Amino acid sequence: MATITHKQGDTLEWVISLTESGSVVDISDWSIRAQIRQNDTLIATLTTTVTNASGGVFNLTATATATDSWAAGNHSCDIEFTDNTNDVFSTETFTVTIIEDISHD
């Protein structure tokens, strides 16, 4: 399982390119969502923005204000896709480690 590290109070922006067997996946007319959870408690629903549908590129983001309230520690995340035929599939679950922010107000 992969691990991504993020610091409390920092803007989160992940730019993701969806590929399958090395080929770009066209995500036109797809819905995409991602949540970060600690155990079963929802920490955040990330904002999804498709930036290049035919190229399979989208962003997952959260504001600095939002991440400031995320508890330090390990959390779980995955990305769920619903394609244009209503098939639903998700990425492997990965760990998001939130690190305490030292420089803050």
Domain residue ranges of the chain, discontinuous segments joined by +: 3-99
- Other C-beta atoms closer than 10 Å to the C-beta of 7 total 19
Percent of the chain scoring above 70 in pLDDT: 99
Q: How confident is the model at residue 32 (pLDDT cuts 50, 70, 90)?
A: very high
Distance CA 76, CA 61 (A): 16
List C-alpha distances in Å: 49 to 40, 43, 97, 99.
Answer: 25, 19, 23, 25
Average pLDDT over residues 48-62: 98
Q: How confident is the model at residue 95 (pLDDT cuts 50, 70, 90)?
A: very high
Residue with tokens 């408690």: 41
The reported pLDDT for the residue numbered 103 is: 85
Give the chain's radius of gyration (CA, Å). 15
Average pLDDT over residues 97-101: 95
Query: What are 8's two structure tokens?
Result: 């409390």
Q: Which CATH number fits domain 3-99: 3.40.470.10, 1.10.3720.10, 2.60.40.10, 2.40.50.140?
A: 2.60.40.10
**AA identity, residue 93:** T
